C-alpha cells in the first residue's frame, strides 16, 4: 500500500472516443528487466512499462550489478553482468509480487544470501508457492509465516518436475528462471495455460525452451544474450478503456501497438460475447509476442451478460475487477467463480469490489471464489475505497463514468503501480 493518499473525482461521461498508444506491458517489462541483468551485453528496450512495479524490477536489477540507463528518448539500456553481485542491503520489491516471486527463482543459483522485502501489501501476500519449488531445487529459502521478507541462500541447483498447485505465471516463471541455471532439465506442468511471457522472454534472450499443451521444459546451464526490443502496449491497462468504451453506444476507441498475446487477450473474447464489436488489425510478432491494432465499439442495445469460471477466471485474473465493476450496467449481469486468487492479490479484490459496488448502490452477492453482480442496475456516485490497489482504483473510475453524480476515488495514486497516465488518458477519451 502506498504511503500518500490522494483522492480523485471522476465525473460521468457521455461517450468514449479517441485513439491511444499505451505504455509497455507490465508482465513483459518485468521479465525483460530481470533477464537482461543476467544476460551478457546491453539490452535496449523501448516502451518499457512506466509503472512503479516495473521500476522495482529495474531497481533490483541495478542493485544486483546491472548498469541501468534511461535515455532522453525513453529507451532503457541495461548492461548485464552475466552474474549477480552480492547485496549488503535488502532488495526492495515495493508493491510488486512479480518482482519478488520471479527474483526468488532468478537468484536461487547465485552463491550469496539475499533478502527480498516489499511494502505492507506485498508483505501479506503468499510466498510459500514459490518457496516450495525453489527450495526443492536446492536453494535455501526462508519466509516468515509464509510471507516476505524472503531470504534466499543460493547454490547449486538440480532440475525438478513440478506441477503448480494453483495456476500462476509468476510461479511458473520463477521455476523456469531457476531451471535455466540448474543441472538437468526442469519441467513445469500447469492445469490452465497461464500467460507465457516468461517462456517467450527466455527464448528472446536466446534460451531454448520446449513446450507442450500443458507443460514447459528448460535445460539448465544456458547463457543469455542481450536483446533490442519494443514492448507492446499493456492489454491489462487497455482493459479499463475497452470496458469503458463497451458501455457507451456510439463509442469508438482505437489502440495502436497493443499486446495481443493469446494467453492475455481473453478479455476481447468476453467483450465480444457481451455484444461489443472488436476489430483487430495489423497483427505482427515481436520476440514471439503478438502485437496489433484494436478497435472497440459498444453494442447499440447495451452489453448482455455472462458467466466467467474455470480456466477463464485464471486467464482473466487481472481483468475481473473491471468486468465486475461494469457488470451492473449489463442487461443480465456477470457471474464470476473459481477466482479465489483474487483474494490474495494487492488487496482482497473480491471483498473490495463487492463493498465498492454496494457503496455505489448496486446489489451484489459475494462468494469465497467470486461474485454475482446482477445486471440492469443504475449506480450512483460514491466514495470508493481503493485499498491502495491500482486495479480497484481504475476499475471504479470506469464504473463512475456511467454513474449518476460524481465519484471520489480514495487512494487514487495507486494507479501509478501499473499505469501512471491512467487519469490523464481517461480525461482525454471521455466526452463530458
Q: Which residues contribute to the annotated binding site for 3-phosphoshikimate? A: 26-27, 31, 168, 170, 318, 345
Size of the site for ligand S3P (CB under 6 A): 12
Q: Is 104 in the site for ligand S3P (CB under 6 A)?
A: no
Phi and psi for 101 in degrees, rounded to 5? -70, -45
Q: Hey, what's the cell of 425? A: 488518458
Phi then psi for residue 416, to 5 deg, are -65, -10
Binding-site residues sit at 26-27, 31, 97, 125, 168, 170, 318, 345, 349, 391
Catalytic residue among 53, 234, 318, 389: 318
CA separation, residue 66 to residues 42, 106, 212 (Å): 9, 14, 33
- Quick check: 98 binds ligand S3P (CB under 6 A)? yes
For residues 361 and 215, give the distance between their C-alpha atoms in angstroms, rounded to a whole number: 45
**Min. distance of Cβ 338 from ligand S3P in angstroms?**
13
Q: Which stretch binds ligand S3P (CB under 6 A): 62-70, 165-173, 319-327, 394-402?
A: 165-173
- H helix or E strand, kind and range, residue 202: helix 197-204
Q: Which is nearer to ligand S3P, 257 or 315 (CB)?
A: 315
Question: Which residue in 33, 175, 317, 426 binds ligand S3P (CB under 6 A)?
Answer: 317
Taking CB under 6 A as the rule, which mask of x and - marks residues 26-55 in contact with ligand S3P? -x--x-------------------------
User: Alpha-carbon distance 112 to 337, whole Å?
Assistant: 43
CB of 248 to ligand S3P, least distance (A): 27
Q: Which stretch binds ligand S3P (CB under 6 A): 137-145, 148-156, 163-171, 219-227?
A: 163-171
- Integer Cα distance of 293 and 257 in angstroms: 6
**CA–CA separation, 432 and 429 (whole Å):** 9
- Whole-number Å distance between alpha carbons of 298 and 274: 10
- Map residues 184-203 to x or -, x wherever contact with ligand S3P holds by CB under 6 A: ----------xx--------
Minimum CB separation of residue 176 from ligand S3P in Å reads 11
Give 99 or 251: the residue with its C-beta nearer to ligand S3P.
99
Q: Is 318 a catalytic residue?
A: yes
- Interacting stretch for ligand S3P, rule CB under 6 A, among 167-175, 237-245, 258-266, 293-301? 167-175
SS3 content of the chain, % helix, strand, coil (to 5): 35, 30, 40
| Distance (Å, whole) CA 408 – CA 403 | 12
| CA dist., res. 302 & res. 287, Å (int) | 38
CA distances to 16, 38, 424, 432 from 224, in Å: 44, 7, 38, 50
Site residues for ligand S3P per CB under 6 A: 27, 30, 98, 168-170, 173, 194-195, 317-318, 341
Catalytic residue list: 318
Amino acid at each position: 500500500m502506498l504511503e500518500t493518499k490522494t483522492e480523485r473525482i471522476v465525473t460521468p461521461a457521455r461517450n468514449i472516443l479517441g485513439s491511444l498508444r499505451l505504455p509497455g506491458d507490465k508482465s513483459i517489462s518485468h521479465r525483460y528487466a530481470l533477464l537482461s541483468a543476467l544476460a551478457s551485453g546491453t539490452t535496449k528496450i523501448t516502451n518499457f512499462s512506466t509503472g512503479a512495479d516495473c521500476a522495482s524490477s529495474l531497481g533490483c536489477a541495478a542493485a544486483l550489478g546491472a548498469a541501468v540507463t534511461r535515455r532522453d528518448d525513453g529507451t532503457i539500456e541495461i548492461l548485464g553482468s552475466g552474474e549477480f553481485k552480492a547485496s549488503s542491503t535488502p532488495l526492495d520489491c515495493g508493491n510488486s509480487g512479480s518482482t519478488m516471486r520471479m527474483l526468488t527463482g532468478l537468484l536461487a543459483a547465485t552463491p550469496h544470501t539475499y533478502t527480498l522485502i516489499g511494502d505492507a501489501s506485498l508483505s501479506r501476500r503468499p510466498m510459500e508457492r514459490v518457496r516450495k519449488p525453489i527450495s526443492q531445487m536446492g536453494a535455501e529459502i526462508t519466509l516468515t509465516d509464509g510471507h516476505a521478507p524472503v531470504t534466499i541462500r543460493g547454490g547449486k541447483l538440480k532440475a525438478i518436475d513440478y506441477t503448480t498447485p494453483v495456476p500462476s505465471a509468476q510461479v511458473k516463471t520463477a521455476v523456469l528462471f531457476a531451471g535455466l541455471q540448474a543441472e538437468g532439465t526442469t519441467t513445469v506442468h500447469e492445469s490452465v495455460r497461464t500467460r507465457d511471457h516468461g517462456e517467450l522472454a527466455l527464448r528472446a534472450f536466446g534460451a531454448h525452451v520446449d513446450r507442450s499443451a500443458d507443460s514447459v521444459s528448460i535445460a539448465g546451464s544456458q547463457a543469455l544474450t542481450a536483446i533490442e526490443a519494443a514492448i507492446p502496449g499493456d492489454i491489462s491497462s487497455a482493459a479499463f478503456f475497452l470496458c469503458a468504451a463497451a458501455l457507451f453506444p456510439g463509442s469508438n476507441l482505437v489502440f495502436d501497438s497493443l499486446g495481443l498475446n493469446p494467453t492475455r487477450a481473453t478479455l476481447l473474447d468476453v467483450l465480444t460475447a457481451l455484444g461489443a464489436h472488436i476489430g483487430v488489425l495489423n497483427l505482427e510478432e515481436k520476440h514471439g509476442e503478438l502485437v496489433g491494432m484494436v478497435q472497440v465499439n459498444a453494442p447499440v442495445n447495451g452489453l448482455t451478460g455472462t458467466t466467467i469460471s474455470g480456466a477463464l477466471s485464471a486467464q482473466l485474473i487481472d481483468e475481473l475487477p473491471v468486468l465486475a465493476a461494469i457488470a451492473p450496467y449489463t442487461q443480465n449481469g456477470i457471474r464470476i467463480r473459481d477466482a479465489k486468487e483474487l483474494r490474495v492479490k494487492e488487496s482482497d479484490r473480491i471483498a473490495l469490489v463487492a463493498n465498492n459496488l454496494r457503496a455505489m448502490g448496486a446489489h451484489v452477492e459475494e462468494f469465497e471464489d467470486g461474485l454475482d453482480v446482477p445486471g440492469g442496475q443504475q449506480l450512483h456516485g460514491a466514495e470508493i475505497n481503493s485499498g491502495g490497489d491500482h486495479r480497484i482504483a481504475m476499475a471504479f473510475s470506469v464504473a463512475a463514468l456511467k454513474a449518476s453524480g460524481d465519484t471520489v476515488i480514495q487512494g487514487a495514486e495507486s494507479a501509478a503501480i501499473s499505469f501512471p497516465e491512467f487519469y490523464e488518458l481517461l480525461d482525454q477519451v471521455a466526452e463530458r
